[in-house]
Amino acid sequence: MATSGDFGFSIDMTVRNEWRNVDLLRTSVQNCFTAVFADVDGCHAIAMVTGELLENALKYGDWTRGDRAMFRLRVHGTRENDVEVSVQNPVGESDGNANLLLQSIEEINSFAKPEQAYRARLLQIAQSEDSAPSRLGLVRIAFEGNCRLSATLADGTVTVRAVLASTST
């Protein structure tokens, strides 16, 4: 539910860890935001960010545990018209995915511009083996979504946040 300090929208829900839910939620978010914002490109960006974060959670999360409450999507607006998309998912203590994710975000944020990080990743992919995971999703969020990324690790879950700068109404 929206609070008085928010711009006026808030989505907060648990998600079943099924791949088809990525597109169901991505398109739902896109449709919801098209009802709020006139900026079609901005709505597509919010939806893309939602989809990429959910895909990452499903690919690299630890789904051996059955607690549904640990997989959560939140999308909310701020008074400055910024939109924050966050996805929380369980992570394995020893599989290294969580640390790799934190390192990836740190690396992306170290570039002066997300476009530079994105192009560098494209070139890395071209030089990698076919079977290697592309890990392009996060840097796509930063570049195409024009987002600032951050992540926190706590109590066996990781939460990745992407903040999109001002979306015009």
Partner 1 sequence: MENLHIGDLTIEVAPAAPDGVISCTWRGKSNERNPPEILKPWFEKLLAAVSEQQGSLEMHFEKIEHFNSSTITALIRLIQLCRKSGVKLVMVYDQTLKWQRLSFDALRVFEKNDDLFHLRFA
Minimum distance from CB of 140 to partner 1 (Å)? 5
Using rule CB under 8 A, residue 37 touches partner 1: no
If you count them, how many residues does the chain have? 169
- For the segment 119-158, give every residue that binds partner 1 (CB under 8 A): 119, 122-123, 125-126, 130, 134, 136-137, 140, 143-144
Tally of helices (H runs) and strands (E runs) in the chain: 5, 5
Using rule CB under 8 A, residue 19 touches partner 1: yes
Instruction: Name the one range near partner 1 by CB under 8 A: 9-17, 43-51, 78-86, 160-168.
Output: 43-51
- Residues 89 and 17: their CA atoms lie apart, in Å, by 9
Helix (H, G, I), strand (E, B) or coil at 84: strand
* Residues forming a β-bridge with 11: 75
The residues, ordered by sequence, that sit 6+ positions from 27 with a Cβ below 8 Å of its Cβ are 47
Interface positions with partner 1 (CB under 8 A): 19, 22-23, 26, 41, 44-45, 47-48, 51-52, 55, 58-59, 115, 118-119, 122-123, 125-126, 130, 134, 136-137, 140, 143-144
